[in-house]
Amino acid sequence: MTLHVRVNEDVAVSPTSSVESFKTQTFYKSYAKRGLDIALVLLFLPIVGPLVLLMAAVTALDGSNPFYSQLRVGKNGRFFRIWKIRTMTVDAEARLESYLNSNPEARAEWNKHQKLKNDPRITTVGRFLRKASLDELPQLFNVLQGSMSLVGPRPMMPEQEQYYFGSAYYSLRPGLTGLW
């Protein structure tokens, strides 16, 4: 049995390993990987913790909550909250809709890719944080909590489930980083 993962409208990936190989539990998959995740996060927490607090303080200068959470699908199809530093304006959804209504080219880009190259919702600080992937650092707390791993498939949003065929995705703990 081959797993087919739909990446986007144009590309389909067919890994050579079967779905069953993802389900095989080894000592490493069952215990060591989680222990390694915890040890590495705790090792880097004295460096990353103050950095997250500094980024949160700078982001909060506009008077809003510096953290952003979003519902994602994790291992065994369980839902969890993923944490990030907020990189968008507080009125992001209203701003997006207004922008798309007044810009047909942007509407077409959004409909095709579900993102924009020049997104008007992203703050100046947010642009830097995203470019350096620093907005993802609060996810280390998701790793400590156990809803994520350091390495694994990116956690999908509930509305993206239709693009993931097969059950291999659900047998893995989502990761902060991975093949992408």
Q: What is the pLDDT of residues 130-173, one digit of tens each?
A: 999 999 999 999 999 999 999 988 888 888 777 766 667 778 88
Residue 140 lies in a domain: yes
Q: Which of 33, 48, 43 is nearest to 152 (CA)?
A: 33
The full DSSP string for 123-144 is: -HHHHHHHHTTGGGTTHHHHHH
Residue 105 lies in a domain: no
Residue 171 lies in a domain: yes
Amino acid in position 97 = E
Domain total of the chain: 1
Q: How far is CA 137 from the centre of its chain?
A: 11
Residue 129 lies in a domain: yes
Residue 104 lies in a domain: no
Residue 7 lies in a domain: no
Q: What is the rounded distance in angstroms from the CA atom of residue 37 to the CA atom of residue 146?
A: 9
Residue 8 lies in a domain: no
Q: Which of 154, 161, 165, 162 is nearest to 5 (CA)?
A: 165
pLDDT score, position 113? 87
Range of the domain at 76: 42-87+122-177
Are 122 and 88 a contacting pair, CB within 8 Å?
A: yes
pLDDT score, position 168? 73
Are 11 and 161 a contacting pair, CB within 8 Å?
A: no
Q: What is the rounded distance in angstroms from the CA atom of residue 90 to the CA atom of residue 9?
A: 31
pLDDT score, position 30? 67
Q: Going from the first residue of the chain to its last (180 residues), give the mean pLDDT of each consecutive group of 10, the final group possibly shorter.
A: 37 42 62 91 96 96 92 90 95 92 94 90 94 95 95 86 69 82
Q: What is the rounded distance in angstroms from the CA atom of residue 160 to the CA atom of residue 122?
A: 22
Residue 61 lies in a domain: yes
- At CA 176, angle to CA 174 and CA 180, rounded to 5? 85
